[in-house]
Structure 1
Amino acid sequence: MPNQMTPAQAWAVLREGNARFVSGEMEHPSQSVERRTEVSVEQTPLAVLFGCSDSRVAAEIIFDQGLGDLFVVRTAGHVLDTTVVGSIEYGVDLLHTPLVVVLAHDGCGAVAAAMTALTTGELPRGFVRAIVDRVIPSIVGLGEGGVGSLLSLDAAALGREHARHTVQMLQDYSAGLSEAISEGRCAIVGLEYTLADGRVSLVESVGDIGQFGDPVD
């Protein structure tokens, strides 16, 4: 059976799970032998989570979830390409997942490398450059006053802007996601995870996620 949660209910579950993680009072749900047997037949995740590949940002752990709860897609710097968008659409269109999460974090190496490329012209070697090339459009708009104005911004502000830009790109690129949002079947949230304290903060949202839908600056 498809997940019957609304986007607001799914967002509430993730907020509550992160609060447990931050306080060190995790419940470790959906990790029993019975749960393993249950999800061997089908999956009904409550959220598609698209995040950075950083080893310190393990989705199920920081939201205190378990087997079958999250449909996870990860790339370095949470950069989009067609296979990523297709994977997210799979979660929404075929698994009927009510929420898409774009999970950014502070201290992101991909964002830092994009900033270096913009300010010094230095680019990484090999295919790592493709990651940086996809982050640059997210932050270059902040430098309307030239490179100097970018230098005045801290890394956290750049990371939040990249998360916002990713949320908007998903809505703009995917007709399926846009339709699901307009029909109220799905919403997208952009979050920033703080490595030191484990807390997530909302930085962008599209669709109805209830009363806890006010992004931070």
Structure 2
Amino acid sequence: MNSDSVAGAPRSAESQPARRSLLRGALTGAAALGAGLTVGASPATAAPKSRPRPATPGEALRELAAGNARWRTFREKHPDETRTVRQELVTGQHPFALVLGCIDSRVPPELVFDQGLGDLMTVRSAGEVLDEAVLGSVAYGVLELDIPLVLVLGHQSCGAVRAAVEAEESGERLPAHIQYIADQISPVIDHTKEGDARIDATIDANVRLVSSRLAAEPDLAAKVASGDLAIVGARYELTNQLVHRIA
């Protein structure tokens, strides 16, 4: 990310022991049920930190920025893929950032940020659209694994945004569940612009909308207020592979 993208960020909030114990108990039970399907599997809860990890929102942002710089200059390190790391991750995980991105095949977060196993938790939906499953996934990463950064990552030429804009302009309904995605994006369609400029502006507006909705979630808002969490909107440019912050 460039210098105006991922600067300054907050730090961590209060836990909710009862609810967290309940969730961890449920996860442990689920792991026990699935033990017969895998060899040597363990619950994917937080693990001891044997490797140095970004521990604050600011550190996490800087690490993502550095990784994106490597990616777009073809100097990737492909970190955290060794035998040792794979063995460490058997007992748990401690990702330092959660990336909520689009399903677009051209924007895989682990590649875009040159990160490896156990580094990022990724949640992907068309147009970064929120529903209960997405919200629950983000909440799990933040509240259960103490991830200090949520990055909402939009991208240039987003097909979901284009579909929403074109559906509104034509008045036609989209098939099956795709209309739900369009309905979530339509409130921020930028009517001050036309054509491709409207789509491009709406991509940014949608990132801001999703970021603000996440920041309004009470549990996440408490973590932001305490300085334990930053929720940041950003955008990936397909033309030059740069990730930059969207204010």
TM-score in terms of structure 2 length: 0.76
SS of the residue corresponding to residue 17 of structure 1 reads: helix
Could you tell me which residue of structure 2 aligns to residue 198 of structure 1? 241
Could you tell me which residue of structure 1 aligns to residue 232 of structure 2? 189
Q: Distance in 1 between matches of 2:54 and 2:236?
A: 27
Q: Distance in 2 between matches of 1:123 and 1:26?
A: 43
Matches within 5 A, 1:98-109: 98-109=148-159
Q: Give the superposition deviation at 1:155.
A: 2.4
Q: Give the superposition deviation at 1:151.
A: 2.1
Q: Distance in 1 between matches of 2:198 and 2:131?
A: 27
Higher relative contact order (CA 8 A, sep 6+): 2
Q: Distance in 2 between matches of 1:54 and 1:14?
A: 19
Could you tell me which residue of structure 2 aligns to residue 27 of structure 1? 77
Could you tell me which residue of structure 2 aligns to residue 178 of structure 1? 221
Could you tell me which residue of structure 2 aligns to residue 88 of structure 1? 138
Q: Give the superposition deviation at 1:138.
A: 2.7
Q: How many pairs does the alignment contain?
A: 196
Q: Give the superposition deviation at 1:158.
A: 1.3
SS of the residue corresponding to residue 85 of structure 2 reads: helix
Q: Distance in 1 between matches of 2:218 and 2:172?
A: 36
Q: Tell me, which stretches of 5 or more residues in structure 1 are unaligned?
A: 144-148, 205-217
Question: Which of the numbers 58, 66, 70 marks the counterpart of 2:116?
Answer: 66
1:39 aligns with 2:89: yes
Q: Distance in 2 between matches of 1:161 and 1:123?
A: 22
Structure with the larger strand share: 1
C-alpha contact 2:234 2:246 (8 A) present in aligned 1: yes
Question: Which of the numbers 159, 166, 176 marks the counterpart of 2:203?
Answer: 159
TM-score in terms of structure 1 length: 0.86
Q: Distance in 2 between matches of 1:154 and 1:126?
A: 25
Q: Distance in 2 between matches of 1:4 and 1:74?
A: 22
Q: Give the superposition deviation at 1:13.
A: 0.1
SS of the residue corresponding to residue 246 of structure 2 reads: strand
Deviations 1:120-164 (A, max 9, x none): 21232111111111111232xx33xxxxx3426442211011101
Could you tell me which residue of structure 2 aligns to residue 7 of structure 1? 57
SS of the residue corresponding to residue 241 of structure 2 reads: coil
Q: Give the superposition deviation at 1:188.
A: 0.7
Matches within 5 A, 1:134-145: 134-139=184-189, 142-143=190-191
Could you tell me which residue of structure 2 aligns to residue 215 of structure 1? none
SS of the residue corresponding to residue 40 of structure 1 reads: helix
Deviations 1:40-71 (A, max 9, x none): 11111010111000011001001000000001
**Cα gap change, 1:87 to 1:159, in 2 (>3 Å):** same
Between stretches 47-56 and 123-132, larger displacement belongs to 123-132
Could you tell me which residue of structure 2 aligns to residue 122 of structure 1? 172
Q: Distance in 1 between matches of 2:173 and 2:76?
A: 41
Could you tell me which residue of structure 1 aligns to residue 9 of structure 2? none
Could you tell me which residue of structure 2 aligns to residue 146 of structure 1? none
Question: Which of the numbers 142, 165, 169 marks the counterpart of 2:213?
Answer: 169
